[in-house]
Chain A
Amino acid sequence: MGNFYKDNDDIRFLFRHIDQGQLASMIEEGFRFAEEFDYAPANAEEAVQNYDLVLDALGELSADFIAPRAEDVDREGNTLNEDGSVTRAKGMTEALEKLAQAEVMGFTLPHRFGGLNFPNLMYSMATEMISRADASLMNVFGLQGIAETIDAFASEEIKQEYLPPFAAGKVTGAMVLTEPDAGSDLQVIKLKAFQDDKGNWFLNGVKRFITNGCGDVLLVLSRSEPDRAGGLGLSLFVCEPGPTVHIRRLEDKLGIHGSPTCEIFFDNTPCKLIGERKRGLAPYVATLMNGARIGIAAQSMGIAEAAYRIARDYAASREQFGVAIEKLPAVRDMLIDMKIALEAGRALLYDTSRVVDLAVGYNRQVESNPPEDKAELKALKNKARAYKRYAGLLTPMSKYFCSEMCNAVAYDAIQVLGGSGYMRDYASERHARDARITTIYEGTSQLQVVAAVRGVCSGTAEKYLADLVALQYAPEVKDLLETLAEGRELLRGAIEFTKERGNDYMDLYGRALTDIAMDLIMGYLLCGQASSKVQMDVAVAPGANKDNGETIPMTQRKAMIARRFVEKNAPKIKALTDLIRQGDKSTFSDYDALVGPVQEA
């Protein structure tokens, strides 16, 4: 009997370290739902207890039911039948049934539609555990943003029709966005949406690379304004599979084999408009994708956690040169770096999720329950705006960092296993294949950087860092805070240098600037964890100096992690700022000569 929640000290620590009560009070709107719904919490303490209980159940399901099926799901994949229907891998169907029974398919949906009304932070933790068990299952479990989008923007009638079956796990959905010629650039979408003379909407055209395109509820971004090019000509529609929706092809992919990736032809498919016309891309799909990016960051965490654990176990049991290979400095270093990268990523992702919850919560207060006092209202509006900006900065950062980290960890995990890791006998090769998509879909790393670097250069990162600086820290990390302060100074200089050279230069060095800002943010977050009030003892590995069963306080361990993280990144930050300040623009001037012409076939 395993449990991916209980066996993960870091998740359990962060569960207590982050103030869940604040999120709960906000999302439960002063716990007013308890009167109407017998399962809704009556106070913050009860809400947090609920979160804990549900994660515990999901942790058990992930470990005992989902994980043992992942290998077969990967081998079996999905089948496109003659009649156009798609048959999922057996383990996938079984897992979806169990998730429905566990009542976790409406994780963040409001109570009134049968949802749990949990914060995004809880959803990130849950998504991580599911992904650790089977990354490809996340592509269905993690698509709850579709229901959230309907909840946020659709009419009451559409909500009543679609949301209860979502929450009950009776239906799954798909975000139907990508087309053959519209991938990263969704503004050029061609799929036509048109009305008959009675005003009914229909869809016509082709969509490609659609995750779970064989799902029951399809959110389709399409051109409703034929005369209008660009994003403003797009609207969002909802439709269901039927005789006019043809799955033409299933992609044969490198990884996430359990997740069906479909090409869909819409042959005048009846559909319903979500919200208003012309708002399809912004704000509807933009909001949807921000949620999905956090989902992919959580998926990345899960894959990385699974990959790390195999490597860690293997390094302890595999003997070469007469010792377990974990005794060898090169292997030992890899394992420590993997583990620290994991915890740094988790720190960033969970704080991002918390910030998103606060952004949503403050905004909801402004809209539905504004204070009468004008000064109070103004303060609330400022908070809502600030957290929205933080969310806009941290979301692409989390997606970028966690997905790249997950690839690095999955890669190094195979390295630790050596030849065995390259074989299919271990899940490591599957983790590496599953990891590869995470830096690509829901916006490539390059696009995340484009989004994040604007927040880095506009002052949002500095404000967020200032918030972090203002927190209370333990004396043990005082010198680290000084190192981080030096890093902030270096970043400020690099930003100034960049701004003098314009937007092209900012994009050219976007990755370097974003990397510096992220390292500083994670440095502060880890120092914060080392200063946590949470008292929790964690086991250390038995070895030369430690007995079996020995424990240390988590804060002490986190201080070690913060130290290694901050001190190893300090020279990297220095090097990156030097690089930025060299002012080199050869990428623009020398490209043609450096890469040479495209060869004729």
Chain B
Amino acid sequence: MAYHCVVLAKQVPDTQRITGQVMNDDGTVNRSALPAIFNPEDLNALELALQIKDRFGGRVTVVTMGLPGATRILRDSLYRGADDAILVTDRRCAASDTLATSYILSRAVKKLEADIVLCGRQAIDGDTAQVGPQLAEKLDLTQITYVEALEELEDRQITVRRNIGNGWQQVKTSLPVLLTVTGEANAPRVAAAKQLMKQKKARTRLEVAQEIQEINPDAVEAEREELTASRCATLESQDLLIKHWDLDDLEADLTWCGRNGSPTKVHRIQSVVLAAKESKDVEPTEEGITDMIHELIQDKIIA
């Protein structure tokens, strides 16, 4: 029995590699100062999907919503063994919060007829863990969060183990289903050599247009469009054209997208700067310990 797995992935700033220039003065993240990476737990979701494909057959489609640059993680997905990749990008998606994002993504997933939708548990930039569950609600799918292992998959019945913090829980349900996958679920595979060799040429139409523009900066627009179209046709015939959907393709209701569709309002951003040194020596004496406890109480760290 083969299954169609749809994986939702996000390109995120690598918040695990913080350097000096990362914070703007107002306390927001300077995204350009951080390398953009594949959200780690989305890689675990992709790996689980690929394992399902390895064992049971079927297909894996990866969808990302983001700036055109997010195509990089789509190519990365193809390198690792995904069959199809789709970029959802549109200026009108800008400033979407988790509600708008999950709405837009739900429009995309609806077009794909998935048996199993897989998301990473959460992204390392926002750390909300909201998009997966919201998406399940919008798609009216059964959701199982915090998945750390696939136990069984047979006759469209899936059994998984989910982490519940102080232990685990075994859950069985029927497909279709949406899973959010944790970092403990598996160790993601690396790129496969032959896929790298082939898919390194995979491009979205946007990327092709930009490359044509760079090569022929003086050409008139019509000429560039023609070149782009012909290059895209070649790529498509080689199965190397990464699909690109905008909000029109998704027939999305614009009142639910972008700033309009995002009720989240940032009330205040606080930039917490630690002035003191990070460590402090405490003498292992009665006096030293008493002083430390006193200080912790004063700082309201312990009551």
Contacts and interface: CB of A to CB of B under 8 A. Distances in A.
Interface of A: 38-41, 49-50, 53-54, 57-58, 60-61, 65, 94, 98, 101-104, 114, 116
Given A38-B238, A101-B81, A54 B189 contact: no
Interface residues of B, number: 15
Nearest to A58: B190
B193 A102 contact: yes
A98 B200 contact: no
B195 interface: yes
A52 to B, nearest CB: 10
Given A49-B200, A53-B200, A101-B81, A39 B194 contact: yes
Given A54-B193, A98-B189, A102-B190, 18 more contacts: A38-B238, A39-B194, A41-B197, A50-B197, A50-B200, A53-B200, A54-B196, A57-B191, A57-B193, A57-B196, A60-B190, A65-B187, A65-B190, A101-B81, A101-B190, A103-B194, A104-B193, A116-B194
Top 3 nearest A-B pairs (CB, nearest first) are A39-B197, A103-B193, A39-B198
A53 B197 contact: yes
B262 to A, nearest CB: 32
Contacts, number: 51
B285 to A, nearest CB: 26
DSSP majority for the A interface?
A: helix
A57 B190 contact: yes
B196 A53 contact: yes
A40 B192 CA distance: 14
Interface of B: 79, 81, 187, 189-198, 200, 238
A103 B195 contact: yes
A38 B190 contact: no
27 contacts: A38-B198, A39-B194, A41-B197, A50-B196, A50-B197, A50-B200, A53-B196, A53-B200, A54-B197, A57-B79, A57-B190, A57-B193, A57-B196, A60-B190, A65-B187, A65-B190, A94-B187, A98-B187, A98-B189, A98-B190, A101-B190, A101-B192, A102-B189, A102-B192, A103-B195, A104-B193, A116-B193
A50 B192 CA distance: 12
Contacts of B79: 57
B197 to A, nearest CB: 4
Nearest to A97: B189
Nearest to B47: A101
A65 B191 CA distance: 13
A40 B193 contact: no
A573 B45 CA distance: 60
Contacts of A104: 193
Best-buried of B79, B191, B193, B200 by chain A (most CB within 10 Å) = B193
Contacts of A49: 200
Nearest to B239: A38
A169 B33 CA distance: 40
